[in-house]
Structure 1
Amino acid sequence: MAWRDAKASRVRLLLFMSSIILGISAVVAIQLFSENLSDNIQKQSKNLMGADYIIDTRQEPTERAQEIIDSLKPDAKEVNFVSMIAFPKNGGTKLVNVRGMQGDFPFYGSMKTEPIYASSIYQERNGALVDATLLLQFDIIPGDSIKVGKVTFPIIGALKSVPGSNALSTSVAPPVIVPYNTIDATELLQFGSRKEYQFFYKASDTLDLNAFESKVDPMLDIANADLDTHTSTSRRLGRRYENVGKFLNLAAFIALLLGCIGIASSVHIYIKEKLKAIAILKCLGASRKQSFLIFLLQISGIGVLGGLIGSSIGVALQGLFPYILKSFLPFEVEMSISIQPIIIGILLGLFMSVLFALIALLHTWYVSPLKVLRISEEPVQPRIVRTLVFCAIMLFLYLFSLWLLKDATYALVFVLGALITFIVIAVVANFFMKLVRRFFPKSWSFTARQGLLNLYRPNNQTVVLILAIGLGTFLISTLYFTKDILLAKTEVGPTAENANIIILDVQSNQRQEMESQLKTNEVPILDNIPLVTMRMHKIKDKLVNDLKQDTTRQVRGWILNHEFRTTYRDKLIASEELIAGKWKPSLEKNEGIVISISDNLAEDAKVDIGDKIVFNVQGVLMETTVGSIRQVDWGRMQLNFSIVFPKGVLEDAPQFSVFTTAASDEKASAKLQRNLVDKFPNVTIIDLRQVFNIVEDILEKVSWVINFMAFFSIITGFIVLVGSVRTSKYQRIKESVLLRTLGAKNTQILKISALEYLFLGALGSLVGILLALISGLCLALFIFQEPFTPSLIPFIVFLPGITLLVLLIGLSNIRSVLSSSPLEVLRREV
């Protein structure tokens, strides 16, 4: 009976099934990709690092650290730092990551260059390997030269990739590799320069890296160095991309939820039309169990088949994700297919189809044989049954979310958040419908009034359609509003009041000449900030070295190993707000040193007003007292400091300076940078316009990924719409007959339907955009603490675009309605 009835209703059942196919295909594709990503990270962990383990330190290794490094006999070493370089051929300048390399690194994987042999000869020829994209930007080819500090290197080859790097890191500072023994001659490493020393090791196969790390890393930690093995690096990388996978999974899960809501609504209408036939079966002796199982088997078949089709599509779709995420991946992912996600997809289709259709299916259990005789007889479900079904649905959603997230709290928050979002959209949709119904002009034409009233007809699915359309629109609109907030935080203004160029590492003996050079280039000196480097020696009578070995400490690890760059001044700046204590602008002779610290430093170091901190200022111990705590807006594009000293303390300490200035346009900025690199090869120049462009590019890539996932929600919403139209097709034919009998023409019926879909599309997309406005405002005020200026894209593109699509889909599905004659309906009734 289930099979025969399904054959007669196969088109409608296929539409029900299509509602969940997209969601399942997305979940399966992402699950397969996540598995492949995890496998690739484990298999390629050595290739990603290029070595078995690395010892690194942010400054020249201490005596103890050097002893450990030498005892392990490094196979290769590197010093890397950010600096300006110049191309003598055309005068171009660029901020790059200079890597001075010695030894046959990498030991695993390869350094890809053009020509191929360039990576094996650049050291013996004292040449440079330059990022391939950088060469294209400045129209430079191998054979030309590059000036790094005081040294001009021949360019041996174009550098395409190095183990451990990715597209995002190289976009900020492209790599330039030169021989290690030439670094001193460049004269770029001066007092205060930010640099990193790395020592690469190739281990024997018998070495237990985990045991080795647990023994050596604590010793290096005390000596201000760090140990990374390829296994620990792959674990960190795996956790990072696991979070990306969780986000993608949840986005796909939302699309699946939309499809399930479409199934619930469609099955409700489908079963409602079958109730009379079920009542007849019961009159003929069919039991409750038999009538229930007929339709349970149908829905189960839909779920299994939908899961199978969705899983097949997911297998094909997984190949897209390496392309979508290629900017975020430091390696190429080799794709393979495993059976587990496919089985999960099939089971997911079965359970979610049955669960979301269960309330409608239970009507078959409670329908009375009197339904044959009494048209108004409706099956009544006990409240306890509906409650149990709802609880079963919520429990399944929670367990599935827990499986995706591996965290009970996050899973609960997600399920509650999804539930609240669905409820809010449904409530807002109902509210808008009531407003439209109440205040709709009575004087409008018959077709306009009838189109509106169609929203309220029985079995119309209006709320479900608005929910599907609204949620998809909400996801994409929220993305655009959030993106605007993030870009606003990094925006660089063109006015002279805002610095758009930062000049770092200006030595004490270069200050006057730097000031003179800036005046010569007719740019303002906005800031001349002194910097003094220091480390913490003692925190509240506890030595930092003792704290490093204390496994029960509450002080965060970065505090103990960090080299702080501090400054001194007599006033707060715009990005700071005093939240505790009293600001000390300057100190008199023989007065105790009082400092101001940022709120995050106070939290991580577990210090408060009045606590003592002893600093090691380049070999000199200095005792200070916390006098004030500041809240710092680290999101601003300007120099902010965790520690600020008052004037009258650090003036005689070894220091260097940071200048900020503003160039009127890109041409003036390029000219200034050329002149400064020529006069001061050791300084680092950051053009905030370029930083802004990089940030915008990163956000565009993130936007693309999120748009891709929101696409599933939008498409699922449209499938639910098509299913709804097909489900109510015969009801529309009846209405068409009645309207024609009363004298209506095809053009009038077409207008009525067009207006109905116009209302649906406009209302759904408007609800989604308005809710996205509220969420964007909350994000701006409470998360980013920025003024909210919404993007116009959702209003000028999404609102009319989605409305038009809904209209076209609706009209394309009523062609048969317009072509059906009254006799067709009469014969069907007979």
Structure 2
Amino acid sequence: MNVSNTNNKLQITWLFKMAWRDAKASKVRLLLFMASIILGISAVVSIQLFSTNLKDNIQRQSKTLMGADFIIDAKQIPSERAQTIIDSLQPDAFEVNFVSMVAFPKNGGTKLVKVRGLEGGFPFYGEIETEPTAAAGGYQASGGALVDATLLLQYNAKPGDSIKIGKLTLPISGALKTIPGSTAISTAVAPLVIIPYRFIAATELLQFGSRKEYQYFYKASDTLNLNRLEDKIGAQLDFENADLDTHTSTTKRLGRRYDNVGKFLNLAAFIALLLGCIGIASSVHIYIKEKLSAIAVLKCMGASRLQSFLIFLIQIAGIGLVGGLIGSLIGAAIQEIFPYLLKDFLPFTIEMNISAQPILIGVFLGLFMSVLFALLPLLRTWYVSPLEVLRVDEHATQEPIYIRLLVFTAILAFLFLFSFWLLDDALYSLFFVGATLLTFALLTGVALGFIKAIKRFFPTRWSFTLRQSLLNLFRPNNQTVVLVVAIGLGTFLMSTLYFTKDILVAKTEVGQRTENVNIIILDVQPEQVDAVAQNIKSKDLPVLNNIPLVTMRMHSIKGQLVNKLRQDSTRQVRSWVLNHEFRTTYRDSLTPSEELLEGKWTPRIATGDPVVISISDNIASDANITVGDAVVFNVQGVLMETTVGSIRKVDWAQIQLNFSIVFPEGVLENAPQFNVFTTRVPDEASSAAFQRDLVANFPNVSIIDLRQVFTLVEDILDKVSWIINFMAFFSILTGIIVLIGSVRTSKYQRIKESVLLRTLGAKNAQILQISAFEYFFLGLLGSLVGILLALLSSLCLAVFVFKEPFVPSIIPFLVFLPGITLLVLAIGLSNIQTVLRSSPLEVLRRER
């Protein structure tokens, strides 16, 4: 028994020694093979670690994000029934907030801000951070204001100075740094100013049409079940145009919001990993093909099938294990970048921790994918005959067809399960794997068709070097199919990612089609319209638009009362439509951001005629209405019957005034309304002077400087684009490493042919030309087919997934096509440098 155990240990030791010795002899090829694994694993691990940290932080800080256990909010003064529910729960704090202009008397500066009038001890979790620290707890008693710290820096103000809010002037108690529930984006658009609730009436800013929100904050007892509370009174509050938000439901929404960012990152990581898998399969295929004669020699010397198979399996598994570990460590370092890039999207600071799970998954993936994708070429070692030493037949060691089908099935199952784990969508995963499989099949078909076409239409009159390079594409031991598939599939994935990146980046671009408008003036009351218009003209500025706004709610849809629809769980109308207060307008023409989809546009109607309205396509979908359907609106207590006359497509991406519902002229002129003016100022100095004067005369109006909004939004979207570009570049880099590995490994197939040509008298220049033409054909064919297939797949993604128009970039044709072709050519030429620099005998000795 001891002798048997000793023999087994010796056999295992011998297998590891043989694997190590052979790996040392082929270290350059195996290092490139490992690089494919490292890059793919690092992409997956970095994104998985960041996603894990993000979810953990959201869960851990759920109450701090809101500052309370639950909140009830209403866009207007709560109804009597809603107020009864609010009071019965005994709120611990409440506020009213609205957007308004404020002024700094010290220097005359004005700014659009969000004013929060607070009463009570909010926040109950987390804290208000101010400078000085005591201001957070003392502003209520002292009757001062907490003003956004960045805003104070911009206007050279400090605690002790004063701020004017409407008709009210208050001392600045402190600089506000953070408060639970606010984000960098919201505070950048409208910085926060917090004042005691008792001073709100004195500002005289809450007038008709003012956009305001009432919030009631609650700190729940440990015994209160928030989910049960939400189920019990949530529907009642919806019925009264109020909402209940718990910290748990808010956390779920927040998590879903960041899932969209994660999905693209996961897609990019999956592509990087898939490129690594392609590198593994192509590199090992060529590598093992070169080792078949050595394996045959081993078998002639008495090695068994299992032993020869295990030697190379140990090699590949070891490389996968080491590559997975290195990739995991690199991924752990890369994930530290994401919190910095995404900080403007996050309402809290992420505490980064390196958990063991993604690291272990990375190491396991490195081992598993290297073995799985190398399994098919590895199995050829099992079927090598000792006669392979004498036989020259590329088909002599083919494994049985059922073995290949079994391995292919395992690979497809792995790809589907892994993509489903990353994308969390079975349909998208199936589509992606199917597209990859189809691309693989098409590339294989193109390569085989190319070989047959060359055989059939061989150009016998071409020069010797051209004919020889074409012969290399279909003679025994050719690498046409392997390299065309590797190059084409790599180019396909890289180009698809690039085209997709363009679609996503285009969605983040801010189209400044309203470049003539850079100032929007909101909340102009009817009695102020003429005076505001005169004020604008007195500064030699144009009144570009004077848009009336009328607020209303839906009373009934297609004869069904909204109040009953709210209680109907089987309704086909989205709940936001039933609760929303619509700001509508009336005009006689479409705007450049609108396109008529259905029905007929009605510019104006006569008194007594049926009222025909135009709705946006999202309202038509969410309210389940179409042309000809009846909708009754409640316009400030007056019911108005209307019929849908047309449906419009609205480009909401444009930063301008767009409307879901538009009435014709002749209907709403006498309804309670307020106006919005737009104008254009030539420079920042004129804009500041104009805003100061307008706010001094009309303190209730709000002014939006679109140039500041464009700057802010573009800065944020630049960071989104940077992340998208970074992940695209990361995957493209993986693809390039894969191509280098695949083509570099193929050099060992051409060395003997090149040596033979030199022995027969071929010159170095001829050998160089033969190799150059062969790799040029392979690089051009593979990259061209890959880009064309990527073009088709990206069109499908744009139409069916992103639902955006697809304008293909010319970059892949101008950069990828020549770049990858030249890269393949350069690597191919570098492959034969040893042949050109040394004697044939020396090369053969070295390569053996």
1:546 equivalent to 2:564? Answer yes
Residue matched to 1:105: 122
Q: SS where residue 490 of structure 1 aligns? A: coil
- Look up the match of 1:348: 365
1:3 alignment partner in structure 2: 16
Tell me the equivalent position of 1:78: 95
Does 1:601 find its partner at 2:610?
no
**1:407 pairs with 2:407:** no
C-alpha separation in 1, matches of 2:348 and 2:698: 37
**Could you tell me how far apart the structure 2 residues matched to 1:158 and 1:762 are?**
62
2:531 corresponds to 1:518: no
Q: Quote the offset at 1:302 in angstroms.
A: 2.9
User: 1:511 Cα shift?
Assistant: 0.6
Aligned: 1:584 with 2:584 = no
Residue 396 of structure 1 is matched in structure 2 by: 414
Do the aligned partners of 1:359 and 1:389 also contact (CA within 8 Å) in 2? yes
Q: 1:333 and 2:350 equivalent? A: yes
8 Å CA contact 2:92, 2:219 repeated in 1: yes
Mean Cα deviation higher: 134-143 or 232-241: 134-143
1: CA distance, partners of 2:452 / 2:137: 75
The more displaced of 352-361 and 283-292 is 283-292
Q: Secondary structure at the match of 1:105?
A: coil
Q: 2:548 aligns with which of 496, 515, 530?
A: 530
Distance in 2 (alpha carbons) for counterparts of 1:810 and 1:16: 17
Contact 2:93 2:119 (C-alpha < 8 Å) held by counterparts: yes
Give 1:395 deviation, angstroms.
1.4
Structure 2 CA distance for aligned equivalents of residues 736 and 239 of structure 1: 59
| Alpha-carbon distance between aligned partners in 2 of 1:59 and 1:436, rounded to the nearest angstrom | 77
Alignment correspondent of 1:134: 151
1:448 Cα offset (Å): 11
Distance across 2 between alignment mates of 1:580 and 1:447: 64
State the AA in 2 paired with 1:499: V
Separation in 2 of the partners of 1:561 and 1:129? 33
Structure 2 counterpart of 1:274: 291
Residue-by-residue CA offset, 1:80-130 (whole Å, 9 max, x unaligned): 222223333444333222222222221111222222222222233333322
The 2-side partners of 1:343 and 1:170 are apart by 40
Q: Which residue of 2 aligns with 1:206?
A: 223
- Equivalent residue runs for 1:233-272 within 5 Å: 233-272=250-289
* Pair 689,444 (structure 1): closer, same or farther in 2 beyond 3 Å: farther
Partner of 1:180: 197
Summarize deviations over 1:155-205 as a string: whole Å, max 9, x none: 333222221222223232222222222222222221111111111111112
- For 2:826 and 2:158, locate their aligned partners in 1 and report how far apart those are by CA, in whole Å: 53
Q: 1:488, CA displacement in angstroms?
A: 6.0
Give 1:284 shift. 4.8
CA distance, structure 1, for counterparts of residue 675 and residue 393 of structure 2: 86
Cα shift readout 1:188-245 (whole Å, capped 9, x = no counterpart): 2211111111111111122111112211212211111111111111122222223433
* Distance in 1 of aligned mates of 2:826 and 2:570: 65
> 1:47 Cα deviation (Å)?
0.7
Q: Secondary structure at the match of 1:152?
A: strand
**Residues 258-280 of structure 1: CA distance to partner in whole angstroms, max 9, x if unpaired?**
11101101111111112122333
Contact 2:744 2:828 in 1 (8 A): no
Which residue is equivalent to 2:632? 614
Partner Cα distance (2:574, 2:719) in 1: 33
Name the stretch that deviates more: 454-463 or 552-561: 454-463
Give the C-alpha shift of residue 656 in structure 1: 0.5
Q: One-letter code of the match for 1:629?
A: I
- Most deviating of 424-433 and 498-507: 424-433
Relative distance call for 1:338 and 1:80 in structure 2 (3 A) is: same
In the alignment, does 2:35 pair up with 1:22? no
What's the TM-score, normalizing by structure 2? 0.86
1:115 aligns with 2:122: no
Aligned to 1:632: 650
- Separation (CA, whole Å) in 1 of partners of 2:234 and 2:504: 40
User: What letter is aligned with 2:673?
Assistant: Q
The structure-2 alpha-carbon separation of the partners of 1:762 and 1:162, relative to structure 1 and needing over 3 Å to count, comes to: farther
Cα distance change on mapping 1:247 and 1:570 into 2, 3 Å: closer
Q: Which of 667, 672, 677 is the matching residue for 2:690? A: 672
Aligned CA distance change for structure 1 residues 377 and 571 (closer, same or farther; 3 Å) = closer
Deviation, 1:152, is 3.1
RMSD: 4.0
> Matched residues in 1 for 2:836 and 2:123: separation?
71
Q: Give the CA deviation at 1:774.
A: 7.0
Residue 573, structure 1, aligned to residue 591, structure 2: yes
Aligned to 2:140, what secondary structure does the other structure show? coil
**Alignment check: 8 A CA contact 1:534 1:615 kept:** yes
Q: Following TM superposition, by how much is the alpha carbon of 1:9 offset from its aligned partner in structure 2, in angstroms?
A: 3.0
Could you say what secondary structure the match of 1:9 adopts?
helix
1:481 equivalent in alignment to 2:502: yes
Using the aligned pairs only, state the percent identity: 68
SS at match of 1:716: helix
2:327 maps to 1:310? yes
Matched, 1:232 2:249: yes
Count of aligned pairs between the two proteins: 827
Going from structure 1 to structure 2, the CA distance change for 1:649 and 1:203 (only over 3 Å counts) comes to same
When structure 1 is superposed on structure 2, of 286-295 and 40-49 the one drifting more is 286-295
Give the unaligned 5+ runs of structure 1. Answer: none
Are the aligned partners of 2:272 and 2:730 in contact in 1 as well (CA < 8 Å)? yes
Cross-structure match for 1:295: 312
1:166 corresponds to which residue? 183
- Does the 8 Å CA contact 1:465/1:760 hold for their aligned counterparts? no
Alpha carbons 2:296, 2:387 under 8 Å: kept: yes
CA 1:790 to 1:286, structure 2 compared with 1: closer, same or farther past 3 Å? closer
Q: For 1:93 and 1:769, locate their aligned partners in 2 and report how far apart those are by CA, in whole Å.
A: 53
Within the candidate set 697, 716, 732, 2:715 is matched to: 697
Deviation of residue 746 (structure 1)? Answer: 8.8
In structure 1, the residue matched to 2:726 is: 708
Provide closer, same or farther for how the CA distance between residues 727 and 631 of structure 1 changes in structure 2, counting only shifts above 3 A. closer
SS in 1 for 2:336: helix
Residue in structure 2 matching 1:222, options 236, 239, 248: 239
1:57 aligns with 2:93: no
Listed one character per residue, the Cα deviations across residues 663-717 of structure 1 (whole Å, up to 9, x for unaligned) are 3444444443333223222122223333322332222111121222223313322
CA distance in 1, matches of 2:688, 2:513: 17
Deviation at 1:729, TM superposition (A): 5.2
1:42 corresponds to: 59
- Bigger mean CA offset, 58-67 vs 172-181: 172-181
Secondary structure of the structure 1 residue equivalent to 2:266? helix
Offset at 1:799?
8.2
Say if 2:505 and 2:721, in contact at 8 Å, map to a contact too: no
Judged with a 3 Å threshold, the aligned counterparts in structure 2 of structure 1 residues 165 and 774 are, in CA distance, closer, same or farther, namely: farther
Separation in structure 2 between the aligned mates of residue 452 and residue 115 of structure 1, nearest angstrom? 79
CA separation of 1:420/1:92 partners in 2, compared to 1, >3 Å: closer, same or farther? farther
Quote the Cα distance in structure 1 between the aligned partners of 2:686 and 2:787: 42
- SS of match in other structure, 1:626: strand
Distance in 2 (CA, whole Å) between partners of 1:675 and 1:422 is 67
Partner AA of 2:506 in structure 1: I
Specify the alignment match of 1:324 in structure 2: 341
Shift of 1:651: 1.7
8 A Cα contact 2:550 2:585, kept in partner: yes
Letter in 1 for 2:670: D
Paired letter, 2:191: P
What is the deviation of 1:517? 1.5
8 Å contact kept, 1:471–1:713:
no
Higher mean C-alpha displacement, 363-372 vs 797-806: 797-806
CA contact (8 A) 1:492 1:692 kept: no
For 1:272 and 1:241, the matched residues in 2 are separated by 46
The one-letter code sitting in structure 2 at the alignment partner of 1:715 is L
Instruction: Give, in whole Å, the separation in 2 of the partners of 1:448 and 1:113.
Output: 77
Change (3 A) 1:364 1:280: same
